[in-house]
Structure 1
Amino acid sequence: MPPPSPPPDWVLVRRRVIGARIRAARKDAGLTQEALAEAVGIDSKSVHRIEYGTSDPSLSVLLRLGDALGIPLVELVRP
């Protein structure tokens, strides 16, 4: 099986936008990456990668992030 192809550029751009929205919400809530990671059940490096758009978080992680930040998922991923 061939390795998966990289995502298209528009996907990478959207991941960065979503990550920036998560980062802003975290800061508005007065949380560190470590505190958010603990609330969500992931490590702080994962929070960093999500915020900077370098990882592809699962739907479950996005749902838990939204819950921990008090923001509906639709608001995190809106265009």
Structure 2
Amino acid sequence: MSFSSPPTDRVLARRRAIGDQIRAARLYANLTQETVALRAGMGLVSYNRIEQAHSSPLLDTLIRIADAIGVPLAELVREE
């Protein structure tokens, strides 16, 4: 199944919120983007694009990021 339509405003807003939550958790853990990317087994540019909400990560990638930061996945994707 392929989705060709652009993401809705709600999806973009959630993507930004998740990026913000990832950044906050990373900063709270006193980690650099480079450290998290390395621990998660991904490139720094790819990681940065997720934090900046320029790309939409796969669930597996979010799990690896949560593990790299040392937080539960739910902390990164919770809605407030």
* TM superposition score normalised by structure 2: 0.90
Q: Which runs of 4+ in 1 moved over 3 A?
A: none
Note closer, same or farther for the CA distance 1:8–1:39 as it changes in structure 2 (3 Å cut).
same
8 Å Cα contact 2:49-2:55 kept in structure 1: yes
8 Å Cα contact 2:22-2:51 kept in structure 1: yes
> Unaligned 5+ residue runs, structure 1?
none
- Percent sequence identity over matched residues? 53
How many residues are paired up? 78
2:11 aligned with 1:11, yes or no?
Answer: yes
What is the distance in 1 between the residues matched to 2:56 and 2:40? 16
Secondary structure in structure 2 of the residue aligned to 1:13: helix
Two-structure CA RMSD over aligned residues (Å): 1.4
What is the distance in 2 between the residues matched to 1:11 and 1:3? 13
What is the distance in 1 between the residues matched to 2:76 and 2:36? 15
Q: Which residue of 1 aligns with 2:38?
A: 38
CA deviation profile, 1:9-44 (whole Å, cap 9, x unmatched): 100000000000101111111111111100000111
Counterpart residue type for residue 54 of structure 2: T
* TM superposition score normalised by structure 1: 0.91
Secondary structure in structure 1 of the residue aligned to 2:24: helix
Secondary structure in structure 2 of the residue aligned to 1:62: helix
What is the distance in 2 between the residues matched to 1:55 and 1:22? 13
